[in-house]
Amino acid sequence: MTQPLTRIQQKNTTAILEAALEVFSQHGFRGATLDQIAKAAGLSKPNLLYYFSSKEAIHETLLNGLMDTWLDPLRTLNPQGNPVDEIKGYVQRKLEMSRDYPRQSRLFANEILQGAPRIHDGLGGPLKTLVDEKATVIQGWIDAGKIAPLDPHHLIFSIWAMTQHYADFDVQVRQVLGVSGDAHFAQAAEFLDAFYTKSLTP
Amino acid sequence: MTQPLTRIQQKNTTAILEAALEVFSQHGFRGATLDQIAKAAGLSKPNLLYYFSSKEAIHETLLNGLMDTWLDPLRTLNPQGNPVDEIKGYVQRKLEMSRDYPRQSRLFANEILQGAPRIHDGLGGPLKTLVDEKATVIQGWIDAGKIAPLDPHHLIFSIWAMTQHYADFDVQVRQVLGVSGDAHFAQAAEFLDAFYTKSLTP
DNA sequence: CCTGTTCCTGACCGATTGGTCAAATTCTTA
DNA sequence: TAAGAATTTGACCAATCGGTCAGGAACAGG
């Protein structure tokens, strides 16, 4: 039985999670400190621990809230739609997430990189289930001759890899391109559209 | 004037770097501890610091030695070769590196994820130079009608993203596919070959 | 064998870490 | 407005961090 949150609880909880997202995504779990998070949230360290029982509790809350949002674009892949457009739409939505929520992407990347010690189960369970389901849909499209024959699982991996690359390896992308703003995301969108059009069309 | 290393120096230095690669790639720079590295190397902590002046010195040595090896596959991209085969060859070599040297890939990924604080300059300098050079080659192929018109820089990013994904997100890939060995790398090789064949052929 | 150099270690240090706690402050509500 | 609950804080703690240092052990060449 969860109690409704007071305004002050609401405000501080979100401030903590926002600050923690900033710090965790930048330094990883072990690299982040409670002092950093407290300072970024404008609270004292003991006050952090009044709202969350431990550093790990903050991190866990963040990851749990993330999983669903992160998989939503895949969930909306429509079996009844036009196959090529559906997949390209998924690519674009995923790329937009890299542009608009890079911290979430990096938080996730950090966790996976370290071997996913805190969400290992979530990967084999809900994630695998969803991917398998959508892979079946894609395989159906292949069997019907609607798209080119490509291993559906690895096709999904390719989408994750290419879109998240622009968030996770942002520094590298910027250095190599020599840009500072957001303009290269439009280039990326164009590239990915052309790329997947060519590879998916039967 | 660097002195030649004695056998014992040789042995311990490589043992330290091997252990540090293991630990750094798994926990990131801040997450790794000298005690962990010392234990993994079979040495005492003060003995580590007899060979390397600091934790950062170990990390730096590791990254410096990595950069060249990591870019070699791109360097061997031959302007005179068959365009599609050259690029697909690069993809395969990069994928093999993900399979055979996943720790190096994760070490690099960790560094970039945290904003590349220790190799920031190397990205804008040598890396950018090499990429720009190869991008020009690819653009030449496009202008000659040898491959499909795709932004060369983003094409290179796509190769990095997709191949390194199999090393950096290894846990996720394994969980989703439900595999434990190395077999899925053969699938990945096949997928990438088909994928790039379709998208590069004019 | 002796001697100087290289290699190695236990004990230790100050700084930082995640976390605790009693007391003070602020808010709510009767 | 008074009492009780919720919120906030400074002071503090044990553990761990990267790193130091004096001295001992092993090794080399003569």
With a pLDDT cut of 90, the percent of chain A lying above it is: 89
- Measured between alpha carbons, how far is A78 from B180 in angstroms, rounded to an integer? 31
Mean pLDDT of A49-70: 95
Give the tens place of pLDDT for each residue, B124-140: 789 999 999 999 999 99
The encoded tokens of residue A141 equal 């499209």
Nearest-CA residue of chain A relative to B188? A154
Give residue B174's pLDDT. Answer: 96
With a pLDDT cut of 70, the percent of chain B lying above it is: 98
CA of B31 to C1' of D14 (A): 20
CA of B6 to C1' of C10 (A): 26
Instruction: Please check whether strand C approaches the CB of B47 to within 7 Å.
Output: yes
Mean pLDDT of A172-186: 96
Give residue A124's pLDDT. Answer: 77
- Measured between alpha carbons, how far is B92 from B95 in angstroms, rounded to an integer? 5
ipTM: 0.94
Mean pLDDT of all residues belonging to chain A: 95
Say how many C-beta atoms besides its own lie within 10 A of residue A102's C-beta: 17
Give residue A7's pLDDT. Answer: 78
CA distance B185 to chain A (A): 10
> Would you call A157 and B165 a contact, using CB atoms and an 8 Å cutoff?
yes
Sign of the CA dihedral with B30 first, then B31, B33, and B37 last: negative
Give the tens place of pLDDT for each residue, B92-123: 999 999 999 999 999 999 999 999 998 877 77
> Would you call A116 and B176 a contact, using CB atoms and an 8 Å cutoff?
no
Per-residue confidence band for A14, with pLDDT thresholds at 50, 70 and 90: very high
CA distance B45 to chain A (A): 21
CA distance B132 to chain A (A): 8
- Measured between alpha carbons, how far is A25 from A164 in angstroms, rounded to an integer? 14
- Name every chain A residue with its beta carbon within 8 A of the beta carbon of B166: 157
Give residue B121's pLDDT. Answer: 78
Q: Tell me, yes or no, if A198 comes closer than 8 A to chain B by beta carbon.
A: yes
Give residue B124's pLDDT. Answer: 78
Give the tens place of pLDDT for each residue, B38-81: 999 999 999 999 999 999 999 999 999 998 899 999 999 999 99
Give residue A2's pLDDT. Answer: 45
Q: Tell me, yes or no, if B115 comes closer than 8 A to chain A by beta carbon.
A: yes
CA of B8 to C1' of C4 (A): 18
